Chains A and B, each alone.
Chain A
Amino acid sequence: MKKNPPMTIAEKILSAHSGRKQVFPGELIEVRVDFALGNDITAPLAIKAFKEIGARRVFRRDRIALVPDHFTPAKDILSAEQCKVLREFARQQHIVHFFEIGEAGIEHALLPEKGLVLPGDLVIGADSHTCTYGAIGAFSTGVGSTDLGAVMATGRIWLKVPESIKLIYDGKLNPWVSGKDLILFTIGDIGVDGALYQAMEFCGSTIRHLPMSGRFTMANMAIEAGGKNGIIEPDEITLHYIKSRAKRPYRIYRSDPKAYYVQERYYDVSKIYPQVALPHLPSNVKDVREVGKIEIDQVVIGSCTNGHLDDLRVAAQVLKGKKISSSLRLIIIPATQEIYYQAMKEGLIEIFLSAGSVISPPTCGPCLGGHMGILAKGERALATTNRNFRGRMGDADSEVYLSNPAVAAASAIKGRICHPEEVIGKGLKG
């Protein structure tokens, strides 16, 4: 029997979905989509496109998720109208996975939690952080609304096969270092277009020990380096996460040892300390100990990047028994209802409240400058989100700094950006 030529995990999933034995980087292929998603900003335009194409029925009513998460609970009349478009379309098409607030949360935390996206899947979402699901070994990438409209109609999409770049992380994490720091460090290293159009494959001994939350964070921010997707080979940790959640079969793909990578980069993580991205690009990173005295007006802990239960646990560990600085506001946003509920059961919410923070219902909220904590002119925020573009969280003359949840929590106590050790000493790793 002839053996298949070596391929990366990304190429294997693409070729399996294109019905071909092999695909080559640079090729334009048409693939079958396993799961598609849209939110309250992107889906209304996608639904319009769907109708304009002349389609009557969605390709599969159980393989589409519509998640109103950006401006929800609806922040104004226009936002309410957008949610209504989703709701009515979902009813009319009998879409199974429409999530009303109360059962919802931020799409990229919600879908894996509900077991809707699985290893080996090809996932297309009208949201740039759709790349998050690469953490469970899916090929998952973001598109715009018209593309989503076409996918909902046809179940198919054209894609260019990306070149793969291999990012190897080796060694033991330093105290208070998490997946967020690894990915920020990487983006600082390769730049905001360092992986433009490419598949970023994260591997190495560090990744093998990284919990799912950290893996989601890393794959989530592949787009911040311009990547088409981020991907991590499934292992025991992945399977442990998936097993109780999956309601349909899935497939594990792994890169062949001789697969081709345009680039391989090696990171000795023992040299990586908590990172902070300074305005106005995620690549503008510094070691937290080197940022100097930066006073802040607001801290946000949440988003699809760092709104996971593990993130809240780390934040609570830092905040326990302490009060935040009177010079700032701390907003904490559990990414999903489930996370919120767990955080409550574990007593985290109580810690947050006694520390003086406000808890927002699960929503994207301030991450994209939507609502629930917009910045005024000249204000400065430290956030566990993924983007610090100019004006991202409010006024065009406000500033956003990015960090992991431990740094964010510690800084909320100090009133300025600081290393968690200034507040609590050597802690657990996230």
Chain B
Amino acid sequence: MTRVLAIDTATPTAHVALLEATDAGIDTVAQTAADMKGSHAEHLFRLIDHVLAAAGWSKQQIDAFAVVRGPGSFTGVRIALGTAQGLALAADRPCVGVNTLEAMAEASGRCPGDRVPALGAGRGDLYIARYDASSSPPDQREAPGLQPAGSFWEAPPGFVLWGPGAEPPQDFQAAGGRRSATETAAAAGRIAILRGLDAAPEGPVSPLYIRPPDARLRSSR
């Protein structure tokens, strides 16, 4: 049996989940979410203590960590990864990074077409990726990228799963779509278990920002 703590603070709602993997399958034992704009750093451990109490687990029983490594809020990603790196180091347990968009696809389950998670990226852009319609963990068809919202909604490349900051225009019909399921921490934990916690690469989990920093050298503009 393997017990996993999964964390997602990449978007305005923080998600925390505990999962248990046995030969019989993967169970989400407890999960919670809290909408707390800009203050994930303050409340994250309260959420973690809450799910542990709900599950009746001690913190020492956690075998591995899963963390949503972006894209999303830069600050949120730093909170998640700073916390996850600290936890993995302190517990001497593996930590697996999962991208926000695949967690959205996993959480949303089977869809009528290729799953296309879309997440607000600010400045009129969206973070998007494309996964097959039903695999778990999701089979990536198009790597996460950045696209202007306007052109995306005109011709989305599949069944859209929109997340925070990515409301479709009123006349949106195209290939169809719906709001993404929100249980992203549980989904990240499931993806991490399915891919194999032992297969986690050595060293710290790298964040996935997609949008480059604004700072550019004059000569490279």
Do chains A and B interact in one complex? no
Interfacial residues, chain B to chain A (CB-CB below 8 A) = none
Interfacial residues, chain A to chain B (CB-CB below 8 A) = none
